Chains A and B, each alone.
Chain A
Amino acid sequence: MVNASSEVLEHTAEVKLRVRAASLGELLGEAGRALAAVELGGLPPAPDGPWRPVEVRSSDRDALLVDWLNELIYLAETERWVPVEFEMETVAPTALRARARGVPVTVTPARVKAATFHGLRIVETPAGLEADVILDV
Chain B
Amino acid sequence: MPTAEAIVPEQLVHEIPVTTRADMRVPARVFADGELWRQIEGDHSLEQLINVATLRGVSHCVYGMPDLHEGYGFPVGGVAAMRAADGVISPGGVGYDINCGVRLLAADLDAAAAAPELERFVHELSRSIPSGTGRGGRLALTDVELERVLAHGCRALVEQGLATSEDLDATEAHGCLTRADPAAVSQRARGRGRDQLGTLGSGNHFVEVQVVDRIEDAAAARALGLRAGRITVLIHTGSRGLGHQVCTDYVRLMDQAMPRYGITLPDRQLACAPFRSPEGQQYFGAMCAAANFAWANRQVITHRVREVFGRLFGAGGGLRLVYDVAHNMAKLEEHAGGLLVVHRKGATRAFGPKHPETPERYREVGQPVFIPGSMGTASYVMVGTDAALARSFGSACHGAGRVMSRHAAKRVQPGHEVRRELEARGIIVRCPSSGELAEEAPFAYKDVERVVDVVHGAGLARKVARLLPLGVVKG
Contact = CB atoms under 8 A, between A and B. Distances in A.
* Main secondary structure on A side of the interface with B: loop
A120 B408 CA distance: 21
7 contacts: A41-B435, A63-B252, A67-B252, A70-B248, A117-B73, A118-B71, A118-B268
Nearest to B249: A70
Given A113-B244, A120-B268, 7 more contacts: A15-B407, A77-B133, A78-B241, A107-B135, A111-B436, A116-B92, A116-B269
Contact of A117 (B191, B192, B267): B267
A111 B269 contact: no
Q: Which size bracket describes the interface of B in this complex?
A: 35 or more
**Which of B92, B191, B407, B436 neighbours the largest number of chain A CB atoms within 10 Å of its CB?**
B407
Contacts of B406: 13, 15, 137
Contact of A10 (B191, B244, B408): B408
Interface in B387-423: 402-408
A8 interface: yes
B309 to A, nearest CB: 26
Contacts of B133: 77, 108-113
A134 B72 contact: yes
A14 B408 CA distance: 12
A12 interface: yes
Contacts, number: 108
B97 to A, nearest CB: 6
Nearest to A137: B203
A28 B470 CA distance: 45
Contacts of A136: 72, 95-96, 244
A113 B133 CA distance: 9
A114 B248 contact: yes
A74 interface: yes
A62 interface: yes
A80 interface: yes
B202 interface: yes
A112 to B, nearest CB: 8
Given A76-B134, A107-B135, A117 B268 contact: yes
B279 interface: no
A109 B436 CA distance: 11
B76 interface: yes
A13 B134 contact: no
A126 to B, nearest CB: 27
Interface string B192-205: 10000000001100
A78 B245 CA distance: 11
A116 B132 contact: no
B397 to A, nearest CB: 14
B449 interface: no
B439 to A, nearest CB: 9
Interface in A80-137: 80, 107-114, 116-120, 134, 136-137
B261 to A, nearest CB: 15
Contacts of A14: 71-72
Given A59-B255, A114-B247, A116-B72, A12 B402 contact: yes
B52 interface: no
**Which of A9, A12, A119 neighbours the largest number of chain B CB atoms within 10 Å of its CB?**
A12
B43 interface: yes
**Which of B202, B247, B248 neighbours the largest number of chain A CB atoms within 10 Å of its CB?**
B248
B98 to A, nearest CB: 10
Interface string A66-80: 010010001011101
B269 A11 contact: no
Contacts of A77: 133-134, 192, 241
A116 B70 contact: no
A11 B96 contact: no
Contacts of B251: 116-117
Contacts of A76: 134
B69 interface: yes
Contacts of B45: 12
Nearest to B95: A136
Contact of B96 (A80, A107, A113): A113
Contacts of A12: 43, 45, 69-70, 402-405
